[in-house]
């Protein structure tokens, strides 16, 4: 991992709140894993870089893509980055998802911008002929951005939204219960919502399903030095702290202490 100045191919608004960024990543496209992230310098100002998960990796074109929610100062500045300019990104950082060879069918549970993080995993699953079933949750149908892309990859997508009144935890629990009954799901992955992660953790523990979570904690340095992004891991009777940027952002969901 090191800083790279990558040329911006495109940076476009894809919905009311989300933008899509595509970079020429010739020096690094081959070495990035789904679940990893980059710390991006959003502006030539004296504020911290912002972390973003890899959304798509195109190893033929040697490009990488990010999907980002415009939230505050950093992401507002990022929308101003224009094609042809160079963006300074640091990474790839952290540990990515593990997709075991023996898994034939996996479940993805994503909320909001967590869909961006799991999309890269769906891409890898498709390349390895692993069947993916995805439950995508968002405020509105407009925010369910990657549905078509996932469907093109062959992912079986279930959408739940506040707008349609289908996204409350009880409804999602019922949906997952049915999916677990109807399919031989061998592992589950989640990102984007503590509420849904807690639900999946409870269900995964009940049926002894291996599960992984990509955590999004507020970060400072993203290099393991500042300890701004610690979370707790519980193994047997021992609870210890780990850094999301260094030991994560992907963890065993069955061991993470979700507060
Ligand atoms: C590993 C990781 C991967 C991420 N991947 C994505 C992604 O693919 N797409 C996306 O839209 N967002 C992603 N996020 C969240 C993204 O980093 C924040 O939305 C972004 O930093 C907000 O910056 P801002 O200046 O626009 O907002 P502000 O709210 O002004 O940010 C203020 C401070 O809070 C921090 N911060 C705010 N929200 C978050 C958050 N949710 N997580 C961590 N730090 C936060 C910022 O780094 C900054 O230091 C990810 C976060 C992490 C930790």
Q: Which of 33, 38, 41, 71 to mutate to test the pocket of ligand 1 (most atoms within 8 A of CB)?
A: 71
CATH for 216-259, options being 2.60.120, 2.20.25, 2.10.240, 2.40.30: 2.10.240
Q: Is 35 in the pocket of ligand 1 (CB under 6 A)?
A: no
Q: Is 75 in the pocket of ligand 1 (CB under 6 A)?
A: yes
250-252 sheet: strands from edge to edge: 156-161, 131-138, 105-111, 187-191, 211-214, 250-252
Q: Is residue 185 left, alpha or beta, with left meaning phi > 0 and alpha meaning psi from -120 to 50? A: beta
Beta strands 187-191 and 105-111 are: parallel
Q: What's the CA-to-centroid distance between 178 and ligand 1, angstroms?
A: 33
- Which residue's CA is the nearest one to ligand 1's atom 13? 52
User: 2-93 and 216-259 share one CATH topology?
Assistant: no
- The predicted model scores a pTM of 0.94
Q: Is 72 in the pocket of ligand 1 (CB under 6 A)?
A: yes
Residue 86 makes CB contacts below 8 A (sequence gap 6+) with: 5, 6, 7, 8
- In the chain, where the domains are located: 2-93, 106-214, 216-259
CATH topology of domain 106-214: Rossmann fold (3.40.50)
The token pair at 188 is 């589950």
Q: Is 74 in the pocket of ligand 1 (CB under 6 A)?
A: yes
- pLDDT in 10s for each residue of the chain, 259 residues: 789 999 999 999 998 889 999 999 998 888 899 999 999 999 877 678 999 999 999 989 999 999 999 999 999 999 999 999 999 999 999 999 999 999 999 999 999 989 999 999 999 999 999 999 999 999 999 888 889 999 999 999 999 999 999 999 999 999 999 999 999 999 999 999 999 999 999 999 999 999 999 999 999 889 999 999 999 999 988 999 999 999 999 999 999 999 8
Architecture of the domain made up of 2-93: Beta Barrel (2.40)
């Amino acid at each position: 991992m090191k800083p790279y100045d990558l040329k911006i191919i495109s940076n476009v608004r894809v919905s009311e709140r989300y933008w899509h960024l595509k970079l020429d990543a010739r020096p690094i496209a081959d070495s990035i894993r789904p679940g990893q992230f980059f710390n991006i310098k959003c502006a030539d100002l004296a504020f911290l870089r912002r972390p973003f998960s890899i959304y798509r990796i195109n190893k033929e074109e040697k490009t990488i893509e990010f999907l980002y929610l415009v939230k505050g100062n950093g992401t507002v500045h990022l929308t101003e980055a224009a094609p042809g300019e160079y963006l300074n990104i640091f990474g790839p950082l952290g540990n990515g998802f593990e997709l075991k060879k023996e898994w034939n069918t996996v479940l993805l549970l994503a909320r909001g911008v967590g869909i961006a993080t799991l999309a890269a995993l769906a891409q890898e699953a498709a390349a390895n002929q692993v069947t993916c079933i995805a439950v995508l949750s968002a405020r509105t149908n407009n925010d369910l951005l990657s549905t078509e892309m996932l469907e093109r990859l062959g992912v079986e997508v279930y959408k739940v939204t506040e707008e349609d009144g289908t996204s409350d935890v009880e409804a999602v629990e019922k949906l997952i219960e049915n999916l677990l009954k109807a399919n031989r799901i061998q592992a589950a992955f989640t990102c984007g919502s503590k509420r849904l992660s807690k639900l999946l953790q409870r269900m995964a523990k009940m049926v002894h399903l291996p599960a992984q979570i990509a955590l999004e904690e507020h970060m400072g340095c993203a290099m393991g030095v500042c300890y701004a992004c610690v979370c707790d891991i519980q193994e047997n009777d021992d609870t210890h702290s780990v850094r999301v940027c260094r030991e994560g952002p992907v963890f065993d969901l069955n061991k993470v202490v979700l507060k």
